[in-house]
Amino acid sequence: MGVNSQVRISCRGAGKTQYADGTQNDATHIKDERLRMHTTQKRHENLVTLCQSVSLPADVIAQQCQALFETPDSAFNAEQTNDIDIMSKNAQQLAAKVAAVNAANEAETYQRMSAEEFTHFSYTLLHDLRSSAGLISGFSEISLLGITGKLTDEQKAIMKHIHQLSLIMLAAFADYQAASERLNQ
């Protein structure tokens, strides 16, 4: 049978046209592909929104950690200094990852990724960001409880602010994950 002499066999109600040579024109495949593209686009938009919402808190946390060292009577014990240093480094890492995501977005890197690549990338990024924010939350809570040493009132105020910002970021990550899971359904 030649290419131009294909015999068409219609399957009523199935949305498919099957040709005698075995090839198909599947309308549901086209709809599935459009849905996949829409889902990927929505995930991309959600990731950009997430990064925009955590960019400022990450920068502020890094600044607040530095401010702790500049407070009067900022004689911290070694454990407190280490904890503040860990929080500061994690905030800087968070800010750097968010900046990289924003730069990649501007370069339209995500539009060139397959759906699987983008899904893997976004889940890995979410895990990394959530881990950093979780560390900041945990260390700030330990400091506020006085487990590592006493804080002055000014240091407590700064530490409360750091803790609140970390909780805001964790909530943003939870919202992003919930939105991603809804897209998977």
Question: Is 126 inside any structural domain?
Answer: yes
pLDDT attached to residue 4: 45
Question: Is 7 inside any structural domain?
Answer: no
Please tell me which residue, 150 or 6, carries the higher pLDDT value: 150
Ordered DSSP codes for 36-95:
HHHHHHHHHHHHHHHHHHHHHHHHHHHHHHHHHHHSTT----HHHHHHHHHHHHHHHHHH
Question: Is 172 inside any structural domain?
Answer: yes
- Structural domains of the chain, count: 1
Per-residue pLDDT, averaged over 80-86, amounts to 93
User: What are the tens digits of pLDDT across the range 85-119?
Assistant: 999 999 999 999 998 888 888 777 877 787 788 88
Rounding to the nearest 10 degrees, give the CA dihedral for residues 15, 20, 23, 27: -10
Question: Is 14 inside any structural domain?
Answer: no
CATH number for 155: 1.20.120
pLDDT attached to residue 106: 79
Question: Is 8 inside any structural domain?
Answer: no
Question: Is 1 inside any structural domain?
Answer: no
In one-letter notation, the amino acid at residue 128 is D
Question: Is 77 inside any structural domain?
Answer: yes
Tell me, yes or no, if the pTM score tops 0.85: no
Which of 31, 147, 163, 35 lies closest to 87, judged by CA? 163
Question: Is 25 inside any structural domain?
Answer: no
Domain range for 106: 39-184
User: What are the tens digits of pLDDT across the range 19-63?
Assistant: 455 555 556 656 666 666 667 778 778 888 888 888 899 999 999
